[in-house]
Chain A
């Protein structure tokens, strides 16, 4: 499997959402870290073919992509049980497997609720449960931990670590990533992707204003540029709970 993004650009009312992205996704487990408003969901929608863009997305060996984006599962405004039945039929998936996953998350109560009335966390669990069961070449998870309590987050991590196929997980929450097995790590900031850094240990990644340690790359936060270093640096990535903290008046710098 290979997905190549070439000069990818998305604008909305003159505002640049994705800015000249060149990135390659191949077999494996990928993590993309980005703050809110950095263009994460727009990137997902581009890869899924849901919105127009400039540039090219070349896919090789990718027939279908599954996702946890809840909008994708709003074919009709019906109850969650119907939605699961419809999508399991469309993707030829055993619906009982999806129900069983919903039960493991202990959110069976949503089955009789309308899809529009469930909470953000519940919709993330629903999207995740369907996406995990679709036999796709790639699974894209957009903020899978959003609105979910810690015990259910652990269940998601357990499922992901047990999954053998390819996925791209996009999140702004850093405190959970070190529990995940992954092959590549990259950052999306202000509509641009930095990375990917392969086979890195999250605990060894640092952000530094000065050129210290082994430089993997850099991120441009608009007003400041930071080196991403391995092994040595000013602030360890794992000291942030969310990527947004990098923008704060960080005394450490």
Chain B
């Protein structure tokens, strides 16, 4: 039964049109605008930096958009999970790990396609091939980002499902995406306080995604070359801390999951 669920969850994700629409097509439209509309005025000396910022921004928006769909998958499976954890050998830890590996793998696949699209669009516009500086780091980041965003969504949905009623599930599932837009967009133009920058996984992941692409320490205000540099080490520690923190909370939340009625949600 080792990694038994992995292939089925991955297969379901790969066949999910909604996930591909929001995870790839939606962000590709933004990327297209970034390259062909807003990219006209870009200084060619900063081209790789510009590509790196778009890569980071698009990756975060893509992952957070998909997390909306993934939130619904937890809610959808709540009855099944509540039953299985009490009546089978499937336990919250095992389910969590298999889910994380499937989702992490899916984000690596989708992220790789996103990277290819970006390389193609930039090469069409600027006649130069801009490759990510550290491809291995980008792959690791897609994997970790998927795990963090999914874990965060999972906790929110289980809290709603178990304690606060089904009416708010729809809104709550959008929280990671709303936060991603707010925080990732903010650091393009605003210097956020250090405690905000380093304490949340959205800004830290955006910076590290940028770093993985440009292989240089990004500026705190991503579009301002005169702003100070970010501390990559603290960002990395913050991301690892989030990963370690979310995992036990998620497993505990899963162990408490209660069946929700799909019909009840429809009328809520």
Contacts and interface: CB of A to CB of B under 8 A. Distances in A.
Residue of B5, B81, B87 with highest tally of chain A CB at under 10 A: B87
B9 interface: yes
A252 interface: no
A49 B83 contact: yes
A90 B81 contact: no
B258 A52 contact: yes
Given A50-B79, A50-B82, A51-B259, A78 B12 contact: yes
B194 interface: no
Interface residues of B, number: 24
Interface residues of A, number: 27
Interface of chain B, helix or strand or loop or mixed? helix
Contacts of A69: 79, 83
A10 to B, nearest CB: 12
A90 B21 CA distance: 32
A51 B257 CA distance: 9
A78 B11 CA distance: 9
A202 interface: no
B136 interface: no
Residue of B1, B83, B89, B90 with highest tally of chain A CB at under 10 A: B83
B88 interface: yes
A63 B77 CA distance: 22
A89 B1 contact: yes
A71 B8 contact: no
Given A75-B77, A86-B4, A89-B1, A51 B88 contact: no
15 contacts: A48-B86, A49-B83, A49-B86, A49-B87, A50-B259, A64-B88, A67-B83, A71-B79, A71-B80, A72-B79, A78-B11, A82-B8, A82-B12, A91-B88, A136-B87
Interface of A: 45, 48-52, 64-67, 69, 71-78, 82, 85-86, 89-92, 136
